[in-house]
Amino acid sequence: MASHIIGERSRGISVGSVFGRSANVIKDNPLATLGTSFALIALPSLLLGQIGLGAAVFQNVQLGQYALAGVYGIIVGLLWLIASGALVQATVAHDEGRAANPREMLRVGVLRCLPLFAVYVLMLLGIWVGTIFLVVPGIMLAVMWSVALPAIVAERSGVFGAFGRSRALTKGARWHVFGILLLAFVIYLLASIAIGVGSVAGYGSLGVLTGGGQVRMPLPTQPSFVVQLLQSIVTTVVLTWFTTVGASLFIELRDWKDGPDADRLADIFA
């Protein structure tokens, strides 16, 4: 049995193992994962759209007034960070053989929201600076820090400790990590484009393309509630999957580097 564990650690990580773990987290905890994402990300946007706030933000930006858009962006960003932390916690619980508890997920998401924000901002700044220098350094930093966000939730390593932990976990597997992240990003991008095309059609903005040569951008018309709801559901599934892929990558790297948790090892040798 010990040789089996060593063999599992030596085989490294793969697209199948990461994507499979992510799918299993969602499949085994559909209400906790998809429900949390919908409640924190899709539902607020859906409700705000029903009262016309989305159109108001769009109109204010057109007029050069960015205050409302800034407040809207902060609220949406904080909810997204809370949802991200909650989904990482669900992935950790699944790895421990437990069912994801929505109350626990939300508690962890709220408590880790500010550290996640700090890590996210520092990561973006570092990658942006690296990208200025011929792009390659930015890609290298993105891969090196790819599991910093899950690390700060799963191990509470602190803002700067999360970067060090991610660097240590990805060492020796960065080409694999790059390939996995690239494939996940392509899938996410294609899904986002499909959602965007549906949104444009739903808002009736295709008329801009045949608007008789006029340059001005008309305000979007409000789509039906059913269209918005379907878009929200699809967005929820895509974002949940993409976030759990990142968390699953962290778990796979941690198992590869450190081996299974002590509790699971005790069960194996019992």
Per-residue pLDDT, 210: 44
Asked whether residue 218 is domain-assigned, the answer is: no
Per-residue pLDDT, 253: 95
- Residue 167's domain comprises 2-213+223-269
Our count of domains for the chain comes to 1
Confidence tier at 205 by pLDDT (50, 70, 90): very low
Asked whether residue 147 is domain-assigned, the answer is: yes
Handedness of CA 132, 134, 139, 144 (dihedral sign): negative
Averaged pLDDT, 4-13: 50
Per-residue pLDDT, 202: 53
DSSP state of 83: H
DSSP state of 67: H
Mean pLDDT of the chain: 80
For the segment 22-64, what is each residue's pLDDT rounded down to a tens digit? 999 999 999 999 999 999 988 887 777 666 665 665 566 555 5
For the segment 140-191, what is each residue's pLDDT rounded down to a tens digit? 999 999 999 999 999 988 899 999 999 999 999 999 999 999 999 999 999 8
Per-residue pLDDT, 123: 93
Non-local (6+) Cβ contacts of 265 within 8 A are 5, 259
Asked whether residue 168 is domain-assigned, the answer is: yes
- Dist. CA 87–CA 91, nearest whole Å: 6
- Residue 117: name the closest of 65, 153, 71 by CA: 153
Percent of the residues in the chain that have a pLDDT greater than 70, as a whole number = 73
Averaged pLDDT, 131-138: 82
> For residue 105, what are its two tokens?
């997920």
Asked whether residue 48 is domain-assigned, the answer is: yes
Per-residue pLDDT, 258: 85
Asked whether residue 182 is domain-assigned, the answer is: yes
